[in-house]
Amino acid sequence: MHEFYQMPLFVKLKVKNIEKSKVWYKNVLDFHSVFDFPDDKGTVSMTHLRGEKYQDLMLIKDEKVNASSSVIINLFSHNIHNIYQTALENKTSIIQEPTVTPWNAKELTIKDPDGYIFTITESIDSNKSFDCVIENVKGKFDRKE
């Protein structure tokens, strides 16, 4: 049984093939189906998927999908290495391999089967303070005049 909670924010994505997308989200991002919504013919037309708590997605079947690079969905993970490996095994389009960033994170950027872009983020040192991380970022991007 899935925990019920009011979702403070969730993303709806139009997809061409809900079953194919559900398999990809399960295999690559470890998202699980919360509920499938059938249309009047009994075919799944919308599905609610969940990763960790508050990582909720709604997939909506639509023949015309126009994924854009203007929106990038960011997901926090505790094991970016596993996601990277399963993405490779599932022939996922890798935009950026796991990369250490100045903001105390390792990030992986991938595309789902419909072209939506996801950046997976894992904290490197969870004991670092916000101020320490910001100082490090400022140091990397300050202009040298």
Distances in Å between the alpha carbon of 139 and those of 65, 100, 110, 131?
41, 16, 28, 12
Residues facing residue 93 across a β-bridge: 111
Reported as a pLDDT band with limits 50, 70 and 90, residue 4 is confident
Which two structure tokens, joined as six digits, stand for 46? Answer: 């919308």
Which two structure tokens, joined as six digits, stand for 6? Answer: 């009011």
List of residues 6+ apart from 38 with CB closer than 8 A: 44, 45
pLDDT in tens, 77-127: 999 999 999 999 999 999 999 999 988 999 999 999 999 999 999 999 888
**Tokens 């203007």, located at residue:** 70
Task: Tell me if 30 sits within 8 A of 50, measured CB to CB.
Answer: no
Indicate the helix (H) or strand (E) that contains 38: strand 32-38
What percent of the chain has pLDDT above 90? 72
Reported as a pLDDT band with limits 50, 70 and 90, residue 37 is very high
For the stretch 6-9, contacts whose Cβ atoms lie closer than 8 Å and that sit 24 or more positions apart, written own/partner, are 7/54, 7/56, 8/54, 9/54
Report whether pLDDT(133) > 70.
Answer: yes
